[in-house]
């Protein structure tokens, strides 16, 4: 079992680049295809905690679903954004790489090097 997990969307170029960068470092991470198998509330909460981010800091604001769900409203709360991310996994910024009790967002992909050092 790998000590690294990548929350991966193969259709995302940054996610593919991050996976490739890990592999170039000799790391074969466990791949969590969160678009095919949605995150549980517990998993999302754990990622947010490890990243030290609020839902509003991990949501993809450029996704059509962000506007469609009315999340652009000034009074949108963190819980509403969190719930939308659980229901629409494409709203979750990607990729996220986890190693133990540490996690980084692979934007840019080179951020994952922080986990290796």
Instruction: Report the range of poorest mean pLDDT among 44-53, 73-82, 83-92.
Output: 73-82
Q: Which residues contact 76 (CB under 8 A, 6 or more apart)?
A: 56, 70
Q: Which of 5, 12, 31, 50 is catalytic?
A: 12
Q: What is the mean pLDDT of residues 80-89?
A: 97
Q: What are the boundaries of each domain within the chain? A: 1-34+94-117
Summarised one tens digit per residue, pLDDT across range 43-63 is 999 999 999 999 999 999 999
- Reference 32, options 79, 88, 94; nearest CA is 94
Q: How far lies 16's CA from each of 27, 52, 94, 114, in Å?
A: 14, 24, 10, 18
Tell me if residue 97 is catalytic. Answer: no
CATH class of 1-34+94-117: alpha beta
């Amino acid at each position: 079992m790998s000590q690294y997990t990548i929350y991966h969307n193969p259709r995302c170029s940054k996610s593919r680049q991050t996976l490739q960068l890990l592999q170039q470092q000799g790391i074969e991470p466990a791949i969590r295809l969160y678009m095919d198998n949605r995150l549980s509330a517990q998993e999302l909460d754990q990622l947010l905690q490890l990243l030290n981010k609020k839902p509003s800091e991990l949501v993809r604001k450029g996704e059509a679903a962000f506007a469609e769900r009315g999340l652009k409203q000034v009074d949108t709360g963190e819980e509403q954004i969190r719930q939308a991310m659980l229901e629409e996994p494409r709203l979750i910024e990607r990729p996220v790489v986890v190693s133990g009790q540490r996690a980084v967002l692979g934007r840019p992909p080179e951020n994952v090097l922080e986990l290796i050092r």
